[in-house]
Amino acid sequence: MSVFKGAGVALVTPMKENGEVNYEKLAELVEMQVEGGTDAIVVCGTTGEASTLTHEEHLECIKAVVDFTKKRIPVIAGTGSNCTDTAVYLSKEAQIRGADGLLVVSPYYNKATQEGLKKHFLSIAKSVDLPIILYNIKGRTGVNIESKTLAWLGKNAENIVAVKEANGDISQVADLMYYSQGELDVYSGNDDQIVPIMSLGGKGVISVLSNILPKETHDITELYLNGNTKESCAMQLKYLPLIHALFSEVNPIPVKKAMNLMGLGVGPLRLPLTEMEDEHAQVLAVEMKKAGINVVA
The reply to whether 164 belongs to the active site is yes
Q: Would you place residue 254 in the very low, low, confident or very high pLDDT band (cuts 50, 70, 90)?
A: very high
Give the span between the Cα atoms of 23 and 29, in whole angstroms.
Answer: 10
Domains of the chain: 6-229 (3.20.20.70)
Query: What per-residue confidence (pLDDT) applies to 1?
Result: 63
Instruction: Report which secondary-structure segment, H or E, holds 76.
Output: strand 75-78
Query: Catalytic one among 63, 164, 256, 257?
Result: 164
CA atoms lying within 13 Å on the CB side of residue 286: 9
Inter-residue contact 119 to 85 (CB < 8 Å): no
Q: For 200, how many CA atoms within 13 A lie in the half-sphere containing its CB?
A: 24
Give pLDDT, residue 53. Answer: 98
Residue 55 is predicted with a pLDDT of 97
**Which one is catalytic: 25, 63, 118, 135?**
135
Q: What is the mean pLDDT of the chain?
A: 97
Q: Dihedral, CA atoms, 213, 244, 79, 206, nearest 10 degrees?
A: 50
- Tell me if residue 215 falls in helix, strand or coil: helix
Predicted confidence (pLDDT) per residue in 127-139, tens digit: 999 999 999 999 9
Q: Which residues pair with 127 in a beta bridge?
A: none
